[in-house]
Chain A
């Protein structure tokens, strides 16, 4: 079955540093999305990258996708304390009801 898994599980960095989170999955996908979740709160969509794209930018976010390795990375540059949250990748399988399969997430702590 398809599964998105992130690493690291937890990441602690100093404000101003870059944070990189990785995600791996198992089956063919239409697209891969990254979401952010503050503790106990809802899911905020960050960025979507389609299966035929290799890299995408949005503000301080940079996402890469390597379909040959079935992996993606999310880079947050010049991190801020407000970036502290959990980050999840979610994949949308090519043969499904477009449901999303979420990874287990990376808990990011940005120290001021």
Chain B
């Protein structure tokens, strides 16, 4: 069964450092997403990406964040200068509209710890 993969599973970084979280969505999916979940809280939408551009972003997704699909398979989330409050679980998801309103497939997540 196809699945979304994410690397690394856990990233520890110092405040102010840049991090790049990587995702490989399901190959025939066209819509890609990043969500985050601060420990003990709900899952929050960050950004959606379609046709090689951001289609929607939340107020959380400020200038410190960027997304890219560099090679047609990977989908990355970059945080330029991490803050303590960026510590969270980050989930990538992908979705195909071709088969109707189907589920979003989520990756296992990357736990980001900012020290």
Contacts and interface: CB of A to CB of B under 8 A. Distances in A.
Contacts of B106: 35, 42-43, 45
Interface residues of B, number: 27
B52 to A, nearest CB: 14
Contact of B91 (A40, A42, A48, A101): A42
Interface in B80-115: 89, 91, 93, 95, 97, 101-109, 111
Interface in B27-82: 31, 33, 35, 41-45, 48, 50, 55-56
Interface residues of A, number: 24
B107 A42 contact: yes
Contacts, number: 62
Interface in B5-39: 31, 33, 35
Nearest to B56: A97
Centre residue among A97, A101, A104 by max chain B CB count within 10 A: A97
B90 to A, nearest CB: 11
Nearest to B89: A40
Nearest to B109: A42
A102 to B, nearest CB: 4
- Where chain B touches its partner, the secondary structure class is strand
Contact of B50 (A40, A45, A97): A97
A92 B33 CA distance: 13
Contacts of A102: 35, 42-45
Interface of A: 30-31, 33, 35, 40-43, 45, 48, 50, 88, 90, 92, 96-105
Interface of B: 31, 33, 35, 41-45, 48, 50, 55-56, 89, 91, 93, 95, 97, 101-109, 111
Shortest Cβ-Cβ A-B pairs, 3 listed: A97-B48, A97-B56, A102-B43
